[in-house]
Structures are given as C-alpha cells and as structure tokens.
Amino acid sequence: MKTQTTIRVEETNYHKAKEILDQMGLSYSQAIGVFNSMVVMNKGLPFEVKIPTKRLQKTIKSLNDGNTVEYASVEEMMKDLKA
C-alpha cells in the first residue's frame, strides 16, 4: 500500500533535481521512493552528514568572500603548491 505525503523544498533545487531525474528516467516521486528505501535499508541517511571542520568553514568563507587564485596552467598551480 502506498501513502501520499506533501513536502516543501526550495523551488530552484526542485526544478534542477527534476531535470536531472528526467534524464535518468525517474520521476520526482520515484526518486523519493528510492531515497525512502535507502533510509530503511541503511537504518539512516544513505550518505554521510557531517558538520564541516573549522578549517573547512574558514576555507568556504574565504571562497565566498572572493579570495581565490587563478592559474594559467596546471604546471603554474603545481609550482605554487610546492612553494
């Protein structure tokens, strides 16, 4: 027996997810069914959920603030990494 439910999700991500799922031949409803089955099978979320480390949080903030470096080539980047 199936049950009907209503969920609220961010609209932009919903539409992006539907496009991806369409390419995979799945409906949004089918994907939710797969997710629910995986939760039951794993007895939890089917992926790891972690709080980012302080270092990762700092790196994310730095990137969001626009602190990035661009390289013309892989060789240039590797030279900088070895310095």
Query: What would the DSSP string read from start to end of 16-75?
Result: HHHHHHHHHT--HHHHHHHHHHHHHHHTS-SS---PPPHHHHHHHHHHHTT-----SSHH
For the chain, give every domain's residue range.
11-82
pLDDT band at 62 (very low <50, low <70, confident <90, very high): very high
| pLDDT level of residue 64 (50, 70, 90 thresholds) | very high
pTM higher than the cut 0.75: no
> How much of the chain exceeds pLDDT 90, in percent?
83
- pLDDT one-digit tens code per residue, 12-30: 999 999 999 999 999 999 9
